[in-house]
Structure formats: structure tokens, C-alpha cells
Chain A
Amino acid sequence: MDDRATSLVAQRDALASGTCSSTELIDGAVDRHDQTNASLNAVLGLRAEAARAEAKESDVRRAAGELRSPIDGIPILLKDNMVQRDEPTTCSSRILEGYVSPYDSCVVEKLQAAGAIIMGRTNMDEFAMGSSTENSVHGAAHNPWDLERACGGSSGGSAASVAADITQAALGSDTGGSIRQPASFCGVTGIKPTYGRVSRWGLVAYASSLDQIGCFTHTAQDAAIVLQTIAGHDERDSTSIPDAVPDYSAALTGDIRGLKVGLPKECFETEGTDPEVQERVRAGIAELEAAGAEAVEVNLPHTKYGVAAYYLIATAEASSNLARFDGARYGHRASGVKDLKEMYERSRSEGFGAEVKRRIMLGTYVLSAGYFDAYYKKAQQVRTLLRQDFESAFAKCDVIATPTSPEVAFKLGEKTEDPISMYLSDVFTVSANLAGIPGVSVPCGTSANMPVGLQLLGRVLDEETLLRTADVFQQRTDHHTDRPGGIA
């Protein structure tokens, strides 16, 4: 594989020096897709022809000195829950079969304004509900490191695509770990920004108070560039943060001397965390110490309650958000119905998969009369306790380091019959969504030939420190350059 396929920065530099054209980058992405996707099932809709036409325009702009941004002409993939005008969006659900968006999501507008070329959509768990990209009407996606294993979820297709070098960047969304956990499973860098940093306009809602768009890349340098492109205030999203976006690439100073790295003992003593995963993560922390950071012990005493609180809040919000899929306005409508109520019930029952139904049912139950206080309000109170945990911890440290996932990628089918064990895959990631704070997963080695992720969590709107820390780690190690062996 040539250099152009190793990072977004390498692609940017190759374009800038004239050693390759955007058209060649698109051809390379299409070739790589054709070599790998039959095995991976990571990409759902490749816009090969449209992308080639857009690449030609980018090459013309470059020749004329009218570049829109440094990433003009670079291919990028979108998770299949972000809409693009005149293109399908399915959320990996039967209920959105045939849907073609009449408008662009904010992230698509921003990518196009920067001249980036959208290559297509990636496989995901239906409506982003899952941790393995097995809950997909399009079939499971496979992990490039071992095709019998899951690539994580719910943004598994995006993680697998970057791991397999189809593109050097892909967008994902993270509601409880759906960027960080698949990044960990596939050995790539994945960042979930602060809640509200990237507009949710045109992102199909799962749990609105937790959903956040972020990206997958191989390096923190690349993540800084993509985040720079997609972050910023958008008045169409009422939860969008108005604060100015800092220069993320400028934040990569290479210096973390004096940085305090908090180690929550709750995340290292959790029963069920693979000892080899812990070892790799501890080695990663030692690397940060060698770069001048100082490790300090912190406490996140409510960590073990995060998953329970998350599932109550997320399912409650999902039951409300998914009410809009009713067979009337878009997507699947059952045939031969006699009245409106039957149309709703049969369209939804035929259109939604098992996990989505389970979560709608749980969410409807916890919001129903007599149970609201006991479940939903209780979970929101626990959410306050989790936020307070982070406030106390960040009084003592600048970033918090944990394993991203308690284990490496599990086998396909291993957890599909046991919802709780699947949910526990998110034990170290959900708290960041509940507290709204940013988090990044970076590859920190392998266990049994499968990648392990080191998670770094930061203060609200402090993506700069997270990216700087991740970048220093990647300057000192080469885990992010490891690639899966031969994919068919």
C-alpha cells in the first residue's frame, strides 16, 4: 500500500505537492472498497461515480488556486444516520428502506463547503442501537482484524472502513460509546466531542440528550483536521454550543509536561475487564508519564451505575424520538391496513428490528404512568451524580485515562442473545455521554492479535488537551500504524 493510504495528512500533502490528484484518491478508495468490502460489509452505498465527478471539480479548483480548504478533494465516509440531499439514508433499518433525503445534514454542508468528497454511507446498528453492528438490516459488518469478530458499534462500518484504509476518515455518532468502542475494536482513533460541539441537524435522533457526531481517523492529527471542519455553532440545533471553535491542529504542541492524568481505580478494578487489556492500557499511561505527564489517582464512584442509568435515559428518549416512524411520512408502510392505528402498528412492527423494539418497549415502560419517578427520574438523578464524579475528578487532573472497552472485539454472534452482556461492553464509555464531556480512543497495542483502545476523557470543550495528549502518545508509539493483515 502506498503512503497516500496511511493518513489524511499524507493525502493532504500528496495533493498539495502535486504527487497525486483528487481523482486518483477517489480511484484508490473505490479500488480498496472493491478489494475489501465483500468481506467487511462496512460500506453500504458507495458514490463512486458522483465522487469521481466531484473529484474532477476539486482538481480544477486546485489547478486554479481556488481551494476551499486543505482537505479539498479528500474522500470521507458518513455513518448511515446522517442525511445527504438526494441520497438514501437507512439507519440500517427496514423502516427507512427507500428513503431519499430532501436536505443536507449540517456536517454534510460543512464537509462539502471544505471540498471534502463524500464517498458514501457506512453500516451501523439499526438506529445506532447496539455495540457490534450486528443489528443491521444489511447484515453484520466484520472486523478487518478478524472477519469472525465484530467491529463494534454502533458506528462499526465507519471504524472498519478506516481500519481497512478504504478512506482515511469517516464520521460516526456516539450516544453511549458508539464511536470510541468500535475505534478500540478496529485499532483506529475515534473522538466523541463535547455534547453540542458538532450540530445534530440532519443526524437521525436516537437519544437526543446524549447523541454527538465525531470522527474516525488513524491519527489524532487527522482527527484535529476533521473536527475542525465539522465543529461549530448551528442555530438549527438548539443544543449547539455557541463558543468559538479553537484551532485544534495548533493545539498539538507535542508537549504534555506537567499534564495530570487521572486514573479512576473503579475502571481498573472492574470485574470482567481482560487483564491483558488492562496491561496494554497501563503501558500506554506509562508512555504518557515518560513524556512528562503525572499520573494521579481519582475516583469515579458511580461508574458501575452508568450503564443502568444510560439504558433508562437512552431508551426513554428513543421511544419518543422513534415515534415519528409511523408509516405516514416516510419509509415503510404496511400494505392492506384498514385504519390508521393498524397502519402505525403494522408498519412499525414490520419495519423495526428486535433490538429497536426492545428499546422502544423499555423506554415506553419507564415513561409510563406509575414508573416515571422510579426509573426515569432516578436515572436522571444518577446522571447528576456521575457529572459530579467528573467535576471532582477534574479538580485533580486534566484528562482521565481508562480502557475504552473491557475486552477486545468479541466474536460475531457471541452476545446477540444476551442484551445485558452486550450493554456492558459500554461500561467505560457511557459516563462521558451522560456527563456531556469529550472522549477519544487511541490504539495502544494488541491482545491476542486484536487491537486494544486507551480512552482519554476531558473537560467540557477541552478537545484540545485530549487531542494533544493523543498526539503525543502517537508521536512516541506506533500502534496507530499497525494494520490488519490480509483482508480477502
Chain B
Amino acid sequence: MRASLPAMSRITPEQVHYIAALARLSLDEGDVARMAADMDRILEYVDSLAELDTSGITPTAHAIELRTPVRDDIAAPGMDPYLAVSNAPERVNSAFSVPKVLDGEER
């Protein structure tokens, strides 16, 4: 675990490309430069959190603590599968239809 935030985050164009690939976004070169500058500014702003000593503080994921609710496992009808895919840009019967998968993984 890092003790403190990276002192001066500099987001490089390479990092923007890497993050964009993780987020499944394609950005053109103009977008990349603007995004790097915006992210830099925002990260510089959030670096103010480094002033706070949070060692030993339990992180809060949800403000209101609830037990994970359980219910009886009773079979019930779900949404009609044809209705469920009715918004798909392309579909085959009650399935989503997408372009081929494997070739795209070679990049």
C-alpha cells in the first residue's frame, strides 16, 4: 500500500491510451491531449486528500450498513426473453447478435 498519493501526477498520452483501452473508448489525438490535461488538473485537485492522515481508518463502501438481504429461492417467471432483447441493435430470435469475437483479440 502506498503511504501517500503520488506527488505530482503527470498523465502522459501513453497512459491516456492505456486507460482508454481498459475503458473501451477510442480517442483521437486531439481528445488524448485534452483528456491528459483534464485528468492532470483533476488529479492535482484530488491530491489535496494526501494532507489527511488516514492510517488505520476503515474505508466506507456503503454509508448505510445493511446485512446482505436473503430471500427464499422460489422459481418465478422472468421477463419474456424476446422483450428482454427488444432494444438490441441486432438480434437473432431472443439472443443478442454481435460481430465476430476472436480476430479482435489478436491486437
Measured CB to CB, the residues of A under 8 A from B are 98-100, 102-103, 194-196, 209, 235, 238-239, 241-242, 302, 304-305, 308-309, 311-312, 319, 323, 326-333, 337-346, 348-349, 352, 357-358, 360-362, 364-365, 368, 371, 373-375, 377-385, 387, 419-420, 423, 434-437, 460
Using a CB–CB cutoff of 8 Å, the interface residues on chain B facing chain A are: 1-2, 4-6, 11, 15-16, 19-20, 22-27, 31, 35, 38-39, 41-43, 45-46, 48-50, 52, 54, 57-64, 66, 68-69, 71, 79, 83-90, 96, 98-101, 103-105, 107
Residues in chain B near residue A302, CB distance under 8 A: 52
Q: Which A residues are in CB contact (< 8 Å) with B101? A: 339-340
Contacts of B59 in A (CB 8 A): 377, 380-381, 383-384
Compute the total of residue contacts between A and B using a CB distance below 8 Å. 184
Main secondary structure of the interface of A (DSSP, over half): helix
**A361 & B45 in contact (Cβ 8 Å cutoff):** no
- A307 to B, closest residue via Cβ: B45
Q: List 14 contacting pairs A-B, 8 Å CB cutoff, sorted by A.
A: A195-B62, A304-B48, A308-B49, A323-B24, A339-B104, A341-B24, A343-B99, A349-B25, A361-B39, A362-B39, A381-B52, A381-B60, A383-B63, A387-B63
* Residue numbers in B under 8 Å from A338 (CB-CB): 99, 103-104
Residue of B nearest to A378 (CB): B49
A383 touches which one: B60, B86, B87 (CB < 8 A)? B60
Tell me the nearest residue of chain A to B31, going by C-beta: A357
Residue in B22, B41, B83, B105 whose CB lies within 8 Å of A419? B41
Q: Which of B41, B52, B68, B105 is A385 in contact with, Cβ under 8 Å?
A: B52
In contact, A374 and B98 (Cβ under 8 angstroms): no
Distance between Cα atoms of A437 and B46 in the complex (Å): 23
Interface pair A344/B58, CB less than 8 Å apart: no
Report which of B26, B42, B79, B107 forms a contact with A346, defined as CB distance below 8 A: B26
Closest to A435 in B: B63
A239/B66 in contact, CB under 8 A: yes
CB pair A358–B96 under 8 Å, yes or no, is no
Give bound CA distance, A103 to B99, whole Å.
28
Residues of A close to B98: CB separation below 8 A:
328, 340, 343
| CB-based contact A328/B42 at 8 Å | no
Smallest CB separation, B102 vs chain A (Å): 8
Assuming the contacts A196-B66, A338-B103, A361-B20, asked whether A100 and B87 have C-beta atoms less than 8 A apart, the reply is: yes
* Cα A304 to Cα B65 with chains together (Å): 25
B23 and A195 form a contact (CB under 8 A): no
Q: Nearest residue in A to B84 (C-beta to C-beta)?
A: A102
CA distance A364 to B25 in the complex (A): 11
Give the shortest distance, in Å, between A176 (CB) and chain B (any CB). 13
Task: Flag if B24 contacts A361 (CB, 8 Å).
Answer: no
Partner of B49, one of A309, A365, A387: A309
State whether A102 touches B63 (Cβ < 8 A). no
Q: Is B1's CB under 8 angstroms from A102's CB?
A: no
A194-B64, A326-B24, A361-B39 given; A378·B71 CB < 8 A: no
Q: Considering the complex, give the chain A residue whose CB is closest to the CB of B11.
A: A365
Q: Contact at B46–A349, with CB atoms within 8 Å?
A: no
**Apart from A235-B69, A357-B25: 10 A-B pairs, beta carbons within 8 A:** A196-B64, A242-B69, A304-B48, A305-B49, A308-B45, A330-B87, A343-B98, A361-B20, A377-B59, A387-B63
User: With A195-B63, A379-B49 in contact, is A361–B16 under 8 Å at CB?
Assistant: yes
Contact residues in B for A357 (Cβ distance below 8 Å): 25, 27, 31, 35
Contacts of B103 in A (CB 8 A): 338-339
The residue among B4, B22, B27, B50 with the most chain A CB atoms within 10 A of its own CB is B22
Pairwise interchain contact A340-B46, C-beta atoms closer than 8 A:
no
Selected from A304, A305, A340, A365, the residue in CB contact (under 8 A) with B100 is: A340
Which of A330, A337, A360, A435 touches B88 (beta carbons < 8 Å)? A330
Q: Which residues of A contact B104 (CB under 8 A)?
A: 338-342
Q: How far is the CB of A381 from chain B (nearest CB, A)?
A: 4
Answer whether A361 and B25 are a contact pair too, CB < 8 Å, given A103-B79, A235-B71, A339-B101.
yes
The answer to whether B23 and A378 touch across the interface, beta carbons within 8 angstroms, is no
The answer to whether A362 and B96 have CB atoms under 8 Å apart is no
Residues of A within 8 A of B5 (CB): 374-375, 378
Q: Which residue of B lies closest to A432 (CB)?
A: B63
Task: Point out the residues of chain A lying under 8 angstroms from B54, CB to CB.
Answer: 378, 381-382, 385
* Closest Cβ–Cβ distance, residue A208 to chain B (whole Å): 9
Q: How far is the CB of A366 from chain B (nearest CB, A)?
A: 9
Selected contact of B58 from candidates A305, A341, A384, CB within 8 Å: A384
Cβ-defined contact, A361 with B83, below 8 A:
no
A308 touches B48 (CB 8 A): yes
The reply to whether B25 and A345 contact each other, CB–CB distance below 8 Å, is yes
State whether B22 touches A364 (Cβ < 8 A).
Answer: yes
B28 and chain A: residue at smallest CB distance: A349
* Residues of B contacting A102 in the complex (Cβ-Cβ under 8 angstroms): 79, 83-84, 86-87
